[in-house]
Amino acid sequence: MPDATDPAPMNARRKFRREGEGRRRQDLIEATLDSVAEYGLQGATLRTIALRAGVTAGLIRHYFPGKEELLQEAYTALVGRMTEQAKAALVMDDASPRQRLAAFVTANLNAPIIDARVFSLWATFLGRAGADPALARAHRDGYLGFRNEVEAVVAEVLAAEQHKPDAGELRHHAIAINAIIDGLWIEGCLAGEMFSPGELAAIGIKAVEAELGLAPLKQFQEK
């Protein structure tokens, strides 16, 4: 019978695969996210993370100088994963720029990006960013990375509309669209049961189109 004081019983520990250093680092990052989700930043000690990964705390230090660096990498991975999941929606055969934009907004406002656990982790890390310069930098880099993706999509859409915005206009649109998506994403993560399927995405598409001065694409809003 497992020790009740053990924060990560053996049957809950993540198997640490022997697949090279890159895979091992990723396993440690996943174990960190699992530990933070369950025990918070303070409770996610190196011992807890090591138990979750099925390794020793000493092995963690082979890959990361300490807990702070591991937390920074975990937050970077969390935010980067959401951006990559949204970017995957842009890979569409024979799609117009408007269709790609709608798909991008829709991806951001549906599972797996809308997820209570993901939101809880994001909020936990963000709550510490004000007092942790490394986490603050990771947050800034993640925000700018996502905003750059938005700028690229917006530039493609406006070019198809025979409009070539300057850098300042693109920046303005990207900031506004990021805020639209963030606000709806938070609502969906915290109270997803209050919205009908596709409702948040439809609202997001409409708001983004209004920001860009585009007429609505009804076929995407009604899906």
- Domain 67-221 fold is Tetracycline Repressor; domain 2 (1.10.357)
Tokens 């099925």: give the residue.
54
Residue 87's CB is within 10 A of a number of other CB atoms, namely 15
What is the homologous superfamily of the domain 1-64 according to CATH? Homeodomain-like (1.10.10.60)
Distance in angstroms (rounded) separating the CA atoms of residues 54 and 123: 27
Average pLDDT, whole number, for the chain?
90
At residue 217 the predicted structure's pLDDT band, cuts being 50, 70 and 90, is low
Domain edges within the chain:
1-64, 67-221
Residue percentage of the chain with pLDDT more than 70: 88
Mean pLDDT of 5-12: 46
The pLDDT tens digits for 111-169 are 999 999 999 999 999 999 999 999 999 999 999 999 999 999 999 999 999 999 999 99
Tokens 């979750």: give the residue.
52
Question: One fold for both 1-64 and 67-221?
Answer: no
- Nearest partner of 177 among 113, 82, 105, judged by Cα: 105
At residue 3 the predicted structure's pLDDT band, cuts being 50, 70 and 90, is very low
Distance in angstroms (rounded) separating the CA atoms of residues 102 and 85: 14
At residue 13 the predicted structure's pLDDT band, cuts being 50, 70 and 90, is very low
- Nearest partner of 56 among 34, 24, 23, judged by Cα: 24
At residue 215 the predicted structure's pLDDT band, cuts being 50, 70 and 90, is confident
The pLDDT tens digits for 84-104 are 999 999 999 999 999 999 999
- Nearest partner of 205 among 223, 186, 187, 188, judged by Cα: 223
Q: How far is CA 158 from the centre of its chain?
A: 26
- pLDDT higher than threshold 60 for residue 8: no
- pLDDT higher than threshold 60 for residue 222: no
